[in-house]
Amino acid sequence: MSRRPPARLAGGRAHASFQLHFPTGGTNRTLNHAANQFQRIAVIAKPDVAGKLVSPLRHLRDLLAARQLTMLPDERSAALLELGQGLSLDELGRQCDLAIVVGGDGTLLSAARQLADHKIPLLGVNLGRLGFLVDITPDDIGRCVAAVLDGEYEEDQRFLLSAQVGNRAPSLAFNDVVLHKWNIARMIEFETWIDGRFVYTQRSDGLIISTPTGSTAYALSGGGPLLTPGLDAIALVPICPHTLSNRPIVIDAASEIEISVCGHTDPQDVRITCDGATSLTIGEGEKLKVNRHRTRVRLLHPVGHDHFDVLRAKLGWGELPKN
């Protein structure tokens, strides 16, 4: 902790100012990256807003063509631009060295899960609503994308979660893994262990296991804490717990979380979802295991991107009440 010189207030009074320094975790603030490192650019489009997509897609196509870069469209982008057959996300991951996602946070979440193991950097153009992850507006495509292609950008490296039920193949989540009740109007009961140590038996509507990225999503609605992106931490946030002393807790991201259904709860009344997209069932005697995934997502931002600026803008911090 460093102490700044006293600042003077009106009337000559002084107050002390303190500055705290924290490690930035997975955030890379190096701005001078190599120019021309991105030659094969994937363009991934939101699947359900054709009217809003055409103009930014054409802008990207023309920008990349002017720089003599190869554009690799996904199936949706290819159809809207009449470019013939597009590529699947797996094919794009094998062939591109940058992916530009045009849509909302949900589109980027889906791309991140499918491209994570290819270690492809992602850049987001926001056509959605909140836009915590996709931070370039359609009007800024020319300026911001050109700067990134010139090597002027900031990079976040964020982790995903891997969720496995029993011996089945694991599923990935960028925001959260959620254990929740299914088609019933009563609570479920389950037990939670962390690194083999028993934590609690809980009766509630479920549990949100959130990454720092997901702390501004469902976990925020459940009363969970906001985690800065560089933290290697996981939040466990109860959903409507029967006992209000069941509070959110934050644990090391290297931990292994195990959950099993218990008591009078029928496992058929329980579901597990990853990012609200993938749905998993849990059988009698099976456990849900959640770990940090082995590879991280690389998110690119325009120079000057600031997480707290985003929080102020999206959450309305400091706004005066409206009459």
Q: What is the average per-residue pLDDT within 156-176?
A: 96
Asked if 228 and 307 count as a contact pair (C-beta separation under 8 A), the reply is yes
DSSP summary character for residue 32? B
Asked if 57 and 107 count as a contact pair (C-beta separation under 8 A), the reply is no
pLDDT of 291 reads: 97
CA distances (Å), origin 62, targets 53, 55, 65, 70, 298: 14, 11, 5, 11, 25
Asked if 26 and 232 count as a contact pair (C-beta separation under 8 A), the reply is yes
pLDDT greater at residue 29 or residue 150: 150
pLDDT digits (tens, 9 = 90+) for 222-245: 999 999 999 999 999 999 999 989
pLDDT of 29 reads: 53
Backbone angles phi, psi at 77, to 5 degrees: -60, -45
Is residue 105 flagged as an active site residue? yes
Determine what percent of the chain is predicted with pLDDT higher than 90.
79
Token pair for 188: 């479920």
Q: 3-class SS at 287? A: coil
User: Within 13 Å of residue 311, how many CA atoms lie on the same side as its CB?
Assistant: 14
**Which of 160, 167, 171, 161 has its CA nearest to residue 271?**
171
Question: What are residue 125's DSSP bridge partners?
Answer: 102, 136
pLDDT of 220 reads: 96
> Which residue segments constitute the domains of the chain, with CATH numbers given?
29-153+302-315 (3.40.50.10330), 160-295 (2.60.200.30)
pLDDT of 59 reads: 96
Q: What is the average per-residue pLDDT within 273-298?
A: 96
Asked if 179 and 204 count as a contact pair (C-beta separation under 8 A), the reply is no
Token pair for 260: 């099993």
Q: 3-class SS at 75? A: helix
Which is it for strands 122-126 and 288-301: parallel, antiparallel or unpaired? parallel
Name residues whose C-beta falls within 8 Å of residue 321's C-beta, 6 or more positions apart in sequence. none
Is residue 2 very low, low, confident or very high in pLDDT (cuts 50, 70, 90)?
A: very low
Q: What is the average per-residue pLDDT within 44-55?
A: 85
Q: Is the confidence at residue 155, as pLDDT, over 60?
A: yes
DSSP of 182-206, one letter per residue?
-S-SS-EEEEEEETTEEEEEEEESE
**Tokens 């600031």, located at residue:** 306
Distance CA 42, CA 89 (A): 9
Identified catalytic residue from 74, 105, 135, 275: 105
Distance CA 137, CA 19 (A): 33
DSSP of 93-118, one letter per residue?
HHH-SEEEEEE-HHHHHHHHHHHGGG
Tally Cβ neighbours within 10 Å of residue 272: 25
**Positive or negative torsion for Cα 314, 315, 317, 319:** positive
Q: Is the confidence at residue 200, as pLDDT, over 60?
A: yes
